[in-house]
């Protein structure tokens, strides 16, 4: 399902103007993105939690360059579904 499909479905189910739904979903995704970038969790009870996940530092092989590079510790976005999901 794309973002446009999501907007259409929400609009259809709730009889709300598609433009208004689009503005709301864009704002929702921006808030989630900003909070995750700050290192915070965003939890929707009964759905799940958006959070960051720590990746340890490691050495990686660059096959084309035939060399080993150190990859620093970093964080990636992750979603943990609720038990009820």
Mean pLDDT of 33-56: 96
pTM above 0.85, yes or no: no
Hey, is 83 helix, strand or coil? coil
- On whether both 63 and 79 belong to a single domain, the answer is yes
Q: What percent of the chain has pLDDT over 70?
A: 99
Q: Which residues contact 37 (CB under 8 A, 6 or more apart)?
A: none
Residue 85 has a pLDDT of 67
We report the CATH number of the domain holding residue 60 as 4.10.520.10
Number of separate domains in the chain: 2
Mean pLDDT of 22-46: 96
- On whether both 49 and 84 belong to a single domain, the answer is yes
Q: What percent of the chain has pLDDT over 90?
A: 95
Residue 84 has a pLDDT of 83
Domain that residue 52 falls in: 41-85
Residue 5 has a pLDDT of 95
For residue 6, pLDDT beyond 90:
yes
Please give the mean pLDDT across all residues of the chain. 94
- On whether both 4 and 36 belong to a single domain, the answer is yes
């Amino acid at each position: 399902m794309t973002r446009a499909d999501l907007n259409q479905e929400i609009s259809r189910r709730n009889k709300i103007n598609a433009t208004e739904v689009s503005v709301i979903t864009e704002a929702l995704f921006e808030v989630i993105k900003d909070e995750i970038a700050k290192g915070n969790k965003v939890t929707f009870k009964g759905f799940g939690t958006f959070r960051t996940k720590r990746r340890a530092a490691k050495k990686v092989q660059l096959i084309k360059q035939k060399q080993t590079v150190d990859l620093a510790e970093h964080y990636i976005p992750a979603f943990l579904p609720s038990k009820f999901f």
